[in-house]
Copies of this chain bind each other. A is one copy, B any other.
């Protein structure tokens, strides 16, 4: 995956790690919709996702709080607890330093 093109720190990361159960009904559609909605939120900086780990990046804590209050997002979280996930952990972290590498062409 290409790393998200985030600005210089500080900014925030929400690290969402999950174990899914066997009920997958509606999961993919809802996940796709959440990526779409999150990207429209004020203060959204980018996302990186792989099976079981999604990291989203945000300008500040207010942007994270705004996204958490989105009504469709709240409904999706409720369905996640009720249906899709066996376990998950959400960690809110302040990115303090970052460095990258890009292979010269």
Contacts and interface: CB of A to CB of B under 8 A. Distances in A.
Interface of A: 1-4, 6, 9, 13, 15, 17-19, 21, 48-53, 55, 81, 85-103
Contacts of A90: 98-100
A81 to B, nearest CB: 6
Contacts of A3: 17-19, 87-89
A1 B18 contact: yes
B55 A17 contact: yes
A94 B96 contact: yes
Contact of A100 (B52, B89, B100): B89
* Residue of A90, A91, A92 contacting most chain B CB atoms (<10 Å): A91
